[in-house]
Structure 1
C-alpha cells in the first residue's frame, strides 16, 4: 500500500487524549496540531474535558462532525483498541499511535487495520513533523530545514533533531515509526524520494526485516539527489548465527549493513553526532569527487594534526606539484611550507586576505578534491575588534567561492572559535565550520565515501542452479559445472576403489571424508599421500569415521599460490551476499574479508579484493609472481551470480581457492541448501535410506566451531 497523504499533509486532524497538562503527550500533540489550525481542521477529543487549550472538545471520535484524515492516539493502552474501532466505524483510515505497552492487543490491532485497509504509524511512536505542511504531532519543537529524520527509536530521532538544531541544521520531516506494526521505515523512505524540501535523510534502525526493499528505497533517494545517513546498533545477527560456513562466522551483521549501504549509495555512521556532522556538510555542498585533500593552516602543529587525521579517515594529502608550490610561494613568506599541508607561517596575521588567496589557488589547481582550512580564522575579530571588517571581507570572499567554478572542491573550516560572529558569518555563507579539527576531518572523511553513488545493479545473466545433494563430491560437481576449476579427483567408498583411484591420479594425493563439512577439525582430510603411504592412511580414516563417500584428489603443488576464500550466503534480511577474503585453515584467525550484496560485477569484485589487508600478496610478495587476478575475479562473480539466481541455496563456500600465476583452483568447498529444502528432501527420502555415518556429536561440534 502507498504511503497515505494523511501522514504528510492531512486536511484534518483529531487528537484523542488532548489535555492541558504539559507533562502529558496529549498536551504536546494538541498544541502542535493547533499550530497548523489555519491550514487544516483540528479537533480535540477528551471524555472528561469540555475544553482544552481554549478549544471545545468532543467526548469520542464518533462525536466528530466527520471523519478526520488523521487520528493521533495518546490514550492509555486499554483504550487504544476501543478508540480505533470507534474511529474505523466513523470512516478514519490513518492513525498515529503514541501509546506504548499494548502487549497482546497489538495482534488484534494489526488485524483490524488490515481488514479495514487503514494505516498506522506506531504504536510507541514519538510522533511526526512536516515543516512545509506545518504539521507537528510530536513532543517538543523542531527547527525547519532540509534534514528528514526517520527513526525506529523516537528518542534517538529527537536527539538527532536537537543536535542538528544546535548546529544550525533544521528538519524537513520527522517520523518516529515506533513498533512498525503497520507503517515501517521503508514506507517513509519511499515517500521522501519526491519530497522537494528534503536534501538529506537521517535513518535510525534496529532491525532490517525488509532489507532488500530498504536498499531499493535508499538507492532511489540517492538517484533523486538526496543523501541517506544510516545509524544502527547492529542488525541481521540471527542470519549470521545460522550460517554453517567459515564465511558466516567471519562476517558480522554490520558487514552486511555496510554492504547494503554501498549498494544503495548510503553511508553508515556510528553515533548521532557523526550523523549530524556529516549532514551539516551535505546540507551545503556535494560530496567530494575523490579522496585527495589539501590542508591549509596558520599553525604547523595544527596542520600536521589535520594531515594525520585525514589519513586516518581514509583521505590522502598528496604532495603538490612544483608549479602549484611555486604559485603558493609567491603568496607566502619564505618560511612557509607549501607541499601539503600548507603552513601560512604568519602570513595570515600580516594580511588576512591570504586565507582566501591560498584557498582559491589550491581549489583551481585540479590537484585536490577538498580543502580543510584549520586554525585561527574566525577568532581575529573576536579577539581584536579592529580586524572585524578585514576578517568579514575574507569570509565573504570564501563564501562567494561556493558559487564559483571551483565549488565542486568543498571547503571545510576548522575554527578555534565555536560561535564568534565570523563563524556565524561562515555558516550564513553555507561554509561548513567545526570547532574541533577531528570533527571537521571526520565529517569530510565520511561524506567523501558517499561520492561514488549507488552501485549499478549487474544484469541478471545466470540461470538459477539446481540444489546439489549433500557432500563434498556433489559440491565439486556443482562448482565445476559453473566453470570453477577443481583438481582431478575420484569418488570412492572402499579400499578397492581407493586403490584404483590412487593408480589413476597423479600424486601427491589428498584424501577427504566427503560428508563432513569442516574436515580439518575432525581429521577428515589428509594431504601429501603417495603410493607407499596412501593405503594405510585410508584404512585408518575408514576405521575411525566409518563407511561413507570418500574423495581422492590430486594435490595442488604449484609454487607461489595465495590461498583465499570465496563465500556466498543468503542473509535473512538483505538476501544474497558474497564474501572474499584471506583463506585456508587460518582464515578465521586473520578475519580479512570483504562483503558485498550479490550479485557483483567484475569492477565491484576487484574493489572487494582491493579492500583486503592481504591484497599485496596478490601482486607478488617477496619475489613471488603476481597471481591471475582475472581468474579470481571470474570466480567471485560466478559465485555471486549463482547465489543470487538460486533461491534454494543458503550457503556456498570455496575455502581455499588457490590462486597462482596460471589460474585459480578450488580445493575444498561446501554448498548448503536452505533449511526448508533440507527438510523437504529428508521427507522425500525412502525410510531406511543409507546415509554416510557421521555421529551427531561430530556434526554438532562442527557447527559450534563455526558459530
Structure 2
C-alpha cells in the first residue's frame, strides 16, 4: 500500500509559500537549493507581492498555480497558516511542511492554533509535517527543503525533533568517517504525521539502511513501539532521547510541546522494541557508523588487541562497564600468538604485543586473525597507536600500516565478525585509518567511544535473536467487562481498592496471594487466627486510611486469643485516633509467611506507552535501591525473563551466600498475570505488590495496593 508520505518525500511538484528574494530567508534558500540540486519536478514560488524569484514566475496563492501541486512548503508566520492550508485544500495539495513555531510548544493559545491547522488539513486530506520544524530532504530524489548545502549523501535516514541537533549531526558526519544521509525529516511538534508513520516509511525505503533519531517525546508511544519492532527486523533503529532529566523534560515541553514522560520507562520500552539507544550525543554517529559498516555480534565476548598495557587495561574496563565480556582466549589461540610475539607479550586477553609492532605494525593483522579465529570471541577491539607508526617511528612504516589496514578490513568480511579500532592518532587522519573506514571499520580517538560502538553491535545481535520472542505491544481492542471490585469502588466514588479487594482481584487472575479473611469483629479475628493455626498479621481496612502503619493499623506475629483481641482493639483505637471519622470495614487477618527473598512487582499506566510492568528487588528497601526493570504490557515470556536478568542484583535470585535459588518460573508467571491484568483492564492506574516473597518452590504476595486510573 502506498504511503501518505510519498507525496511529501517524493513529490512531483513543490510550492514555496512565503517565497522571498532575501537570501537569509527560508523562502529563498529552499528555491535556491532545489535549483542547485536539480530537483526533477516543478517549483512554484508563492508570494502576492513578487512577480519573479530566481528566474521563476511567482504566484499570488497556491490555488492560482496552473499545474498540480503535491507538496507545499509553508514558511509564513503561524497566524497565516490556517488560511494557507485552506487555499492548499482548494488546490488539492496532498502534503504540507509547516516551518513556523508558535503552536503547541508556546502554551494554550498555541495549542488551539495547532488544533485548528490539523482540523483544516484533515478536512482537505492534507498530511502535515511539523509545525515548528526545520524542514526535510530526500537526497536521492533531489528534494531539499532544509536549505542546508553540501550534505553528504549516504544511506542514513535522520528523524529529529530539533533542527540544531540535526545540523550538528550533519556537520559531524561531514568531518568524520564515511557516513551520509538518504533523507531527513524535522518531526517538530508531531501534530499530524507521527514517529511511527515516518518509521514505517523508512522501513520500506530502498535508499535507507539505518534510521537515526533524536526524540524528545512521543504523541503515541505504543504505536511507535509497534512500528519499531517491525522495522528492526529489517534495519537498525538508533535513538538519542532528550528530556532525560526533570529540567530536560521542561525544556522539551517548551521546545516541541513533547510529553517527555519517564526516562527509565522510555529506555526500557525502546530496548524491548529492539531500538538501540545512546545517552550521549557524541555516541550517536559512532554507533551509527558501527551499525552501518559492521556485522552484528553473535554474543558479547570481545578480544582486546593492544600495543601497550595502559590502553589494554582501560579498554577492558570500558568494555566491562558496557556489559561486555573479555574472556580468556583459548589455549590454541594463545599458543599461536606466542609463536609470533616476544616473550614479554601478554596473550590471554587483553593481548599486549609488548612493542613488537613498533618495527612491524603488520603483526596487528596476524594477531587479529588469530583472535578472530578463536571460537570464544565475537568481536575484536584494537587499541593504541595503529595508524601512527609512520608518524611516531619512521615514514617507511606507512606502507606496512596501509597494507595491514586492507588486511584487517578483509578479515571482517572473511570472518563475519566486527572490528573496531581506537588510535590516539585518529585526529591526524592518517591514510591507514581512511583505508579502514573504506572497509567499514570505524576508527575512534576515544577508548570509551570505541567500546560503546562495540556494545551497540552486541545489542543489535541480541535484538535480532530475541525480537520475535518479545511482546508485540498490541492491547485488546475491546477490554473485557470491568471487574466487580473496580466497579464497586467507582460506584462509591473511591479511587483506590481496599486491600482485600485487590487480593480478590489478583486471585481471580491466577496470582498466588497469601490466605486472608476480612474480620468484622474481634470474635471473627480470633476464629480466623485459630483456623490458620499460625501467628497472623492484622491490618486495618478503611477507605479513609491509606498509610496503615502510620495510623497504628498494623500488627505482626500476633499469636493466641488474648493477643488477637488486644491487637484488634488496638488497631481500631489507633485508626480512630488517626482519623476520628474514618469508616472501618474490619481487620484483614492473614497468616505470617515464612521468610523468603523479597521482591516487588508492580504496574503503572505511563503517559506515553500505556500499561507498564515493573520488577525489582528490595521489598521495603526498593525506593532506596532503585534496582528495578520495566517492560510494556502485554508481556511475552521472554520479556518477563529479561526483567529478572536485568536487575543489578539478579544474582540473589540464583542463591546468595549459600542461600537457595528462588523459583524463577513462578516469578515469570506472576509477571505475565500482572501484565494480563493491566493490559485488559484500562482502569488499573497503579498496582503495587510489595513485598512478594519468592521461595525455592513458588511465591506469595504479602501486600497489595491498587489505584484506579483517573486521567482521561
Q: Residue in 2 aligned with 1:534?
A: 564
Change (3 A) 1:6 1:603: closer
Distance apart, 1:339 and its partner CA: 0.5
1:55-89 alpha-carbon deviations (Å, 9 max, x no partner) = 33223223321231111111233432332222222
1:290-301 pair list within 5 angstroms: 290-301=299-310
Q: Is the 8 A contact 1:132 1:172 kept in 2?
A: yes
Change (3 A) 1:62 1:599: closer
Structure 2's unaligned 5+ residue stretches are 104-109, 250-259, 487-496, 577-582
| 1:189 to 2:190 alignment | no
Q: Residue in 2 aligned with 1:488?
A: 515
Q: Residue in 1 aligned with 2:536?
A: 509
1:145-544 pair list within 5 angstroms: 145-168=154-177, 169-234=179-244, 253-383=262-392, 384-404=394-414, 406-407=415-416, 409-417=417-425, 418=427, 419-453=429-463, 454=467, 456-458=469-471, 466-467=482-483, 468-469=485-486, 470-515=497-542, 516-531=545-560, 532-544=562-574
Alpha-carbon distance between aligned partners in 2 of 1:629 and 1:590, rounded to the nearest angstrom: 21
Distance apart, 1:381 and its partner CA: 3.0
Q: Is the 8 A contact 1:372 1:414 kept in 2?
A: yes
Alpha-carbon distance between aligned partners in 1 of 2:14 and 2:698, rounded to the nearest angstrom: 67
1:71-110 pair list within 5 angstroms: 71-102=72-103, 103=110, 104-110=112-118
Runs of 4+ in 1 over 6 A off after TM superposition: 235-239, 459-463
Q: Residue in 2 aligned with 1:693?
A: none
TM-score normalized by the length of structure 2: 0.88
Q: Residue in 1 aligned with 2:685?
A: 650
Change (3 A) 1:106 1:643: closer
Alpha-carbon distance between aligned partners in 1 of 2:6 and 2:263, rounded to the nearest angstrom: 34
Alpha-carbon distance between aligned partners in 2 of 1:439 and 1:235, rounded to the nearest angstrom: 23
1:622-661 pair list within 5 angstroms: 622-661=657-696
Q: Residue in 2 aligned with 1:129?
A: 137
Q: Is the 8 A contact 2:96 2:127 kept in 1?
A: yes
Q: How many residues align?
A: 663
Change (3 A) 1:584 1:514: farther
Alpha-carbon distance between aligned partners in 1 of 2:97 and 2:482, rounded to the nearest angstrom: 47
Change (3 A) 1:89 1:236: farther
* Larger deviation, residues 336-345 vs 634-643: 634-643
Q: Residue in 2 aligned with 1:692?
A: none
Q: Is the 8 A contact 1:152 1:185 kept in 2?
A: no
Alpha-carbon distance between aligned partners in 2 of 1:518 and 1:277, rounded to the nearest angstrom: 50
Distance apart, 1:457 and its partner CA: 4.0
Distance apart, 1:650 and its partner CA: 2.3
Alpha-carbon distance between aligned partners in 2 of 1:622 and 1:549, rounded to the nearest angstrom: 44
Report the secondary structure of 2:687's partner residue: strand
Report the secondary structure of 1:520's partner residue: coil
Q: Residue in 1 aligned with 2:604?
A: 569
Distance apart, 1:538 and its partner CA: 1.3
* Larger deviation, residues 392-401 vs 70-79: 70-79
Q: Residue in 2 aligned with 1:697?
A: none
Change (3 A) 1:238 1:317: closer
Report the secondary structure of 1:535's partner residue: helix
Change (3 A) 1:220 1:235: farther
Distance apart, 1:271 and its partner CA: 2.6
Alpha-carbon distance between aligned partners in 2 of 1:439 and 1:501, rounded to the nearest angstrom: 63
Alpha-carbon distance between aligned partners in 2 of 1:669 and 1:589, rounded to the nearest angstrom: 19
Q: Is the 8 A contact 1:237 1:252 kept in 2?
A: no
1:327-358 alpha-carbon deviations (Å, 9 max, x no partner) = 11011111100010001112212322211111
Alpha-carbon distance between aligned partners in 2 of 1:430 and 1:509, rounded to the nearest angstrom: 66
Report the secondary structure of 2:171's partner residue: helix
* Larger deviation, residues 489-498 vs 258-267: 489-498
| 1:120 to 2:128 alignment | yes
1:558-707 pair list within 5 angstroms: 558-559=594-595, 561-675=596-710
Alpha-carbon distance between aligned partners in 1 of 2:401 and 2:518, rounded to the nearest angstrom: 81
Alpha-carbon distance between aligned partners in 2 of 1:69 and 1:80, rounded to the nearest angstrom: 17
1:597-639 alpha-carbon deviations (Å, 9 max, x no partner) = 1232333323212222332322223332222222222212221
Report the secondary structure of 2:615's partner residue: strand
* Larger deviation, residues 64-73 vs 169-178: 64-73
Alpha-carbon distance between aligned partners in 2 of 1:238 and 1:41, rounded to the nearest angstrom: 42
Report the secondary structure of 1:209's partner residue: coil
Distance apart, 1:128 and its partner CA: 0.4
Distance apart, 1:38 and its partner CA: 5.0
Distance apart, 1:2 and its partner CA: 4.2
Change (3 A) 1:584 1:386: closer
Distance apart, 1:521 and its partner CA: 4.0
Report the secondary structure of 1:146's partner residue: strand
Alpha-carbon distance between aligned partners in 2 of 1:133 and 1:338, rounded to the nearest angstrom: 52
Distance apart, 1:132 and its partner CA: 1.1
Q: Is the 8 A contact 1:3 1:188 kept in 2?
A: no
- Equivalent of residue 584 in structure 2, options 548, 562, 569: 548
Q: Is the 8 A contact 1:514 1:550 kept in 2?
A: yes
Q: Is the 8 A contact 2:529 2:535 kept in 1?
A: no
Q: Is the 8 A contact 2:229 2:274 kept in 1?
A: yes
TM-score normalized by the length of structure 1: 0.89
Structure 1's unaligned 5+ residue stretches are 240-250, 678-707
Distance apart, 1:93 and its partner CA: 2.4
Q: Is the 8 A contact 1:263 1:455 kept in 2?
A: no
1:181-203 alpha-carbon deviations (Å, 9 max, x no partner) = 22222221111110111111112
Q: Residue in 2 aligned with 1:25?
A: 26
Distance apart, 1:535 and its partner CA: 1.4
Change (3 A) 1:345 1:101: same
Distance apart, 1:653 and its partner CA: 2.1
Tell me the C-alpha RMSD between the 2 structures.
Answer: 2.5
Change (3 A) 1:255 1:490: same
Distance apart, 1:550 and its partner CA: 3.0
1:465-507 alpha-carbon deviations (Å, 9 max, x no partner) = 7432421111111222223223332211223322332332323
1:31-42 pair list within 5 angstroms: 31-37=32-38, 39-42=40-43
Alpha-carbon distance between aligned partners in 2 of 1:132 and 1:632, rounded to the nearest angstrom: 51
Q: Residue in 2 aligned with 1:688?
A: none
Change (3 A) 1:390 1:457: closer
Alpha-carbon distance between aligned partners in 2 of 1:134 and 1:252, rounded to the nearest angstrom: 37
Change (3 A) 1:500 1:575: same
